[in-house]
Amino acid sequence: MSVNAVKNLSFLTRHLIRRNPFALARAAAMIARERLPAAELQQRQAALLRLTLETARHRLSRYAGMPSLPPGADVFAWLRQHYPVIDKADLIAGREEYYPRRGARRPWWPQGKTSGTSGTPLEVFRSVSSVIWEEAFHLQFWSWAGYSDGQPQAILRGDQIMAIGRQQPPYWLWDHYGKQLFVSTRHLSADTARTMLDGIAAAAPVQLRAYPSSAYVLAQAAERLGHPLRLRAVITGSEPVYPSQREQIERSFGCRVYDFYGMAERIAFAAQCEHGAYHVNPEYSLVEILDEQDQPTEDFGHVVGTTLHNQVMPLIRYRIADRARWVAGACPCGRAYPRIELSSGKVEDQLFDRTGTPVSASIITFALKAVTNVKKTQVAQTGPGQWELRVVPDSGYREADSEGLRDNFLQYVSTKVDVTVRLVEDIPLQASGKFKWVTQEWPGARALAAGGAV
Ligand SMILES: [Zn+2]
Q: Which residue spans within 20-118 are E strands per DSSP?
A: 111-113
Residue 2: per-residue pLDDT? 58
Instruction: Compute the mean pLDDT over every residue in the chain, rounded to the nearest whole number.
Output: 91
Question: How many angstroms does the Cα of residue 397 sit away from the middle of ligand 1?
Answer: 48
Residues of the chain above pLDDT 90, percent: 74
Of 251-265, 317-331, 419-433, the one with minimum mean pLDDT is 419-433
DSSP bridge pairs for 380: 388, 439
User: Please, which residues have CB within 8 angstroms of residue 184's CB and are 6 or more apart in sequence?
Assistant: 159, 161, 162, 166, 171, 172
Per-residue model confidence (pLDDT) at position 247: 94
**Per-residue pLDDT at 115 exceeds 90:** no
Between CA 104 and CA 373 the distance in angstroms is 19
* Residue 36: DSSP 8-state: S
Total residues found in the chain within this entry: 454
- Given this model, what pLDDT does residue 310 score? 97
**279 Cα to the center of ligand 1, angstroms:** 7
Dist. CA 104–CA 61, nearest whole Å: 13
Neighbours of ion ligand 1 (CB under 5 A): 273, 275, 277, 331, 333
Helices (H), 308-438: 361-365, 399-408
Expressed in angstroms and rounded, the spacing between residue 246 Cα and the centre of ligand 1 is 18
Do 357 and 416 touch, CB atoms closer than 8 A? yes
Residue 450's pLDDT band (boundaries 50, 70, 90)? low
Strand partners, 438: 348, 379
Cα of 272 from ligand 1 centre, angstroms: 7
Cβ atoms of 234 and 208 closer than 8 Å: yes
CA neighbor of 307 nearest in space, from 138, 124, 109 = 124
* CB contact at 8 A, 437 and 346: yes
* Percent of the residues in the chain that have a pLDDT greater than 70, as a whole number: 92
Mean per-residue pLDDT, 159-188: 92
Q: Which pLDDT score is estimated for 122?
A: 87
256 CA distance to ligand 1 centroid (A)? Answer: 15
- Kindly give the distance from the C-alpha atom of residue 275 to the centroid of ligand 1, in angstroms, as a whole number: 5
Contact 46, 69 (CB under 8 A): no
State the Cα torsion 130-136-137-138 to the nearest 10°: 120
pLDDT for 176 equals 87
Centroid of ligand 1 to alpha carbon of 332 (angstroms):
6
- Phi-psi domain of 304 (left: phi exceeds 0; alpha: psi -120 through 50; beta: other): beta
Q: What is the mean pLDDT of residues 8-29?
A: 80
Whether the per-residue pLDDT at 340 is higher than 80: the answer is: yes
Q: Answer whether 307's CB lies under 8 Å from 266's CB.
A: yes
Residue 226 CB contacts under 8 Å (≥ 6 apart), including other chains: none
Distance CA 87, CA 66 (A): 19
pLDDT tens digits along 65-86: 999 999 899 999 999 999 999 9
How far apart are the CA of 268 and the centre of ligand 1, in A? 17
Delimit the CATH 3.40.50.12780 region(s) of the chain. Answer: 1-88+120-342
- Cβ neighbours of 229 (radius 10 Å): 23
Q: Distance from the CA of 134 to the center of ligand 1, in angstroms?
A: 20
What is the C-alpha to C-alpha distance for residues 59 and 312, in angstroms, rounded to an integer? 8
Give CATH 3.30.300.30 domain extents, the chain: 351-451
First CA to last CA across the chain, in angstroms? 36
Give residue 250's identity as a one-letter amino acid code: E
Predicted confidence (pLDDT) at residue 97 exceeds the cutoff of 80: yes
How many angstroms separate the CA atoms of 299 and 296, rounded? Answer: 9
Looking at residues 92-97, what average pLDDT do you find? 94
Least confident of 87-101, 178-192, 203-217, 420-434: 420-434
Query: Sorting pLDDT into bands at 50, 70 and 90, what band is 453?
Result: very low
Q: What was the pLDDT predicted at 18?
A: 73
Radius of gyration of the chain (CA): 22
Minimal CA–CA distance to 88: which of 240, 239, 263, 265?
265
* Ligand 1 midpoint to CA 331 (Å): 5
Q: Where does the pLDDT of residue 11 fall: very low under 50, low under 70, confident under 90, or very high at 90 and above?
A: low
The rounded distance, in Å, linking the Cα atoms of 201 and 378 is 37
Average pLDDT for 162-168: 91
Mean pLDDT of 190-211: 96
For the ranges 105-114, 202-211, 259-268, which has the lowest average pLDDT?
A: 105-114
Q: What is the pLDDT of residue 273?
A: 98
Domain 1-88+120-342 falls under CATH 3.30.56.10: no
Question: Which one is predicted more confidently, 377 or 79?
Answer: 79
Give the 3-state secondary structure of residue 68: coil
pLDDT category, 382, cuts 50, 70, 90?
very high
Averaged pLDDT, 38-43: 96
The fold for domain 351-451 equals GMP Synthetase; Chain A, domain 3 (3.30.300)
Categorize the per-residue pLDDT at 224 as very low, low, confident or very high, splitting at 50, 70 and 90.
very high
Give me the amino acid identity at 327: V
Residue 261 Cα to ligand 1 middle (Å) = 15
pLDDT confidence bin for 454, thresholds 50/70/90? very low
